[in-house]
Structure 1
Amino acid sequence: MSLALERGVIGERGSALTDTFALVGRQLTHLRRAPGKFIGIAMNPLVMMLVLGYLFKNFIVVPGSGDYQEYILAGCAAQVGLASIGPSAIGVASDLRTGLMDRLRSLPISRTSVLMGRTLSDLVLAAGTVVVVSVAGLLLGWRIHTGLWEALAGYGILLLFVYTMLWVGVLVGLVIRTLETIDAVGALVVVLFSFLSSAFLSTDGMPDWIRPIAAWNPVSAVVTACRDLWGNPSSPVRDGLPAQHPVIVALVSLAVMLAVVIPLAVRSFRTAAAR
């Protein structure tokens, strides 16, 4: 018994980083054998880009001036994060159903590492999807008009948003567990948070009672920050803190979300694995 406990402590405290990277490698190997997850995440933003940015670009006017294709690229890229919630939640719920989580729990590894390994491997997948979306945008005429560091900063904020959404997905999967319900919730999140934001349309033309909700939606802060950092067109009306300081609002809101969601997910995982 004491040996088992000692091994558990070593797994929890001594090699958490090693455990995490080992699990990341395992997850990435599995993802290479099942490319459907990548396709599922990439389809939604790519379809939105093609439909809105190519077919309907002449019917939608960007406030102020600018190309609508350049306006929506940040929104399509942010949608990668929203579209990752459902697959992340389904993956966790499936692992609980099949008993994989119980097998991992029996090993002398950190329980936090199990969730970290999943979210980091999913982040690699999502980053690849962001690259695909960016290349598609380049083919349709999108360009970055700022320097290298501004461009990288925009992608950094975008990937931080994606990582936050992956943790939200983990929490959803641990709490709900029913695959059909998770699928419905994931689709609803993509629609609501995409269109109740400035991802595809300016909030200036929204009804008065919806405008504050859309303005404080973290998606709006993220896409506005990316547009500013990439030199892409954005709304000329900058009323309110989120519009005036989108980078700060995006970073603070995502940090707060991570500080809340990660402990809740770890606690839910320990409770779920003990059942």
Structure 2
Amino acid sequence: MSAPALPARPSSLAARLRWTAADGLTLVGRELGRLRQEPGELIAALIFPAVMVVLFGYVFGSAITVPGGGNYREYLMPGLFVMVSFTSVMAVTMRVATDASRGVMDRFRAMPMARSAVPFGQAGADLLNGVLALVIMAATGLVVGWRAHRGLWPTAEAFLLLVLLRHALSWAGCFLGLVVRNEQTADQFVPLVFPVTMLSNSFVPTGGMPGWLRAVADWNPVSAATAACRQLFGNPGAPAAHTDLAWPLAHPVAATLLWSIALTAVFAPLSVRTFHRRGR
């Protein structure tokens, strides 16, 4: 018996986009269904933000003075929001590497589906997880005294900026997972994300760092995103006007948007290309 013929690849751009979106949403559903079957992973992902708020807020808060005064937990929360967004790299890398090592990716390549749908599905599923994590962290922050002071629209802009950044980082995680292709190796890369988030203005001011280290911290995308959230939330530590700051800190919203666009523009095509080439 001959094998059934696979559907022809759509010829028009609009048809290809619909095909990719439909297959990608199917894979988003697959990831969410997997979390229902393994609830421990979801529970751990949701507990982590709350633990970070309590741990850093009360341990660091007793020892650090906020520049210009203010509540340290209000200073801290924007940095924790960004830190949780950066966990996207770790989470997606692990999931993609696990699927690749178990042969799931090979089965996807054998199916009549859009090649970009698999990375799209991984990024989409992580985006939903990220939104839920931000909600949990915001609720915990409100309990410990954090507030957004500039009103509804700036607050919404800050959270949209965090979602955009997380989505961009999920593409980077997808690419790394496809390159590594081994869950044990990917697990060794996970701790490398923490120095990136710590070498920033998330938890402590950068003014006391040595000059060369401060320059690295000021140009870190984590610092730009944290400064943008502090500015939009109206929290302590927001960059002041007419001060001598590195460009990303003087224009943190624009810098975060540029980082998000650049990461997506680089890693989205790389993820699709790597997924396609691994099947040859």
When the two structures are superposed, what TM-score results if normalisation uses the length of structure 1?
0.92
Paired position in structure 2 for 1:41: 45
Cα offset for 1:2? 11
Pick aligned residue for 1:248 from 234, 238, 254: 254
Q: 1:175 to 1:186 in 2, by over 3 A?
A: same
1:270 maps onto 2:273 in alignment: no
Matched residue SS, 1:15: helix
Count of residue pairs brought into register by the alignment: 273
TM-score, normalization by structure 2? 0.90
Check the 8 A contact 2:227/2:239 in 1, yes or no: no
CA deviations on 1:142-173 (whole Å, 9 max, x unpaired) are 01101111001000111111112211111111
Relative distance call for 1:173 and 1:64 in structure 2 (3 A) is same
Name the one with the larger helix percent. Answer: 1
Displacement of 1:43 in angstroms is 4.6
C-alpha separation between the residues in 1 aligned to 2:117 and 2:208?
45
Q: 1:198 matched to which residue of 2?
A: 201
- 8 Å CA contact 2:169–2:264 kept in 1: the answer is no
Q: Partners of 1:270 and 1:80 in 2: how far apart?
A: 30
1:61 lines up with 2:58 in the alignment: no
Note if contact 2:148-2:234 (Cα within 8 Å) is conserved in structure 1. yes
Matched with 2:223 is 220
Q: CA deviation at 1:184?
A: 2.2
Q: Identify which range, 113-122 or 83-92, moves more after superposition.
A: 83-92
Do the aligned partners of residues 9 and 19 (structure 1) sit closer, same or farther apart at CA in structure 2, a change above 3 Å counting? farther
Secondary structure of 1:142's partner?
A: coil
Contact 2:95–2:177 (8 Å) recurs in 1: yes
Note the C-alpha offset of 1:38.
2.7
Is 1:202–1:235's contact at 8 Å kept on the other side of the alignment?
no
Distance 1:142 1:216 in 2: 26
Return the alpha-carbon distance in structure 2 between the equivalents of residues 212 and 143 of structure 1.
30
Rate the CA distance shift 1:236–1:256 in 2: closer, same or farther, 3 A: closer
User: How far, CA to CA, are the matches of 1:78 and 1:41 in structure 2?
Assistant: 15
Q: In the TM superposition, what is the alpha-carbon distance from 1:47 to its structure 2 partner? A: 3.1
SS in structure 1 opposite 2:146?
coil
Corresponding residue number in structure 1 for 2:8: 6
Query: Which residue pairs with 1:259 in the alignment?
Result: 265
Q: CA deviation at 1:235?
A: 5.2
CA RMSD of aligned residues (A): 2.2
Q: What letter corresponds to residue 204 of structure 1 in structure 2?
A: G
Is the CA contact (8 Å cut-off) linking 1:44 and 1:83 kept in structure 2? no
- 1:116–1:140 distance in 2 versus 1, CA, 3 Å: same
SS of the residue corresponding to residue 160 of structure 1 reads helix
Give the distance between the partners of 1:18 and 1:178, measured in 2 at CA.
28
Once the two structures are superposed, residues 101-152 of structure 1 have per-residue CA deviations (whole angstroms, 9 ceiling, x without a partner) of 1222222211101110111011101110111111111110001101111001
What pairs with 1:12-27 in structure 2 (closer than 5 Å)?
12=16, 14-27=18-31
Residues 177-198 of structure 1: per-residue CA shift (max 9 Å, x gap): 2322212212221x21111111
Task: Report the Cα distance in structure 2 between the residues aligned to 1:70 and 1:224, rounded to whole angstroms.
Answer: 12
1:151-166 aligned within 5 A? 151-166=155-170
Aligned partner of 2:178: which letter? L
The worse-fitting range, judged by mean Cα deviation, of 125-134 and 30-39 is 30-39
How many angstroms does 1:9 deviate by? Answer: 6.1
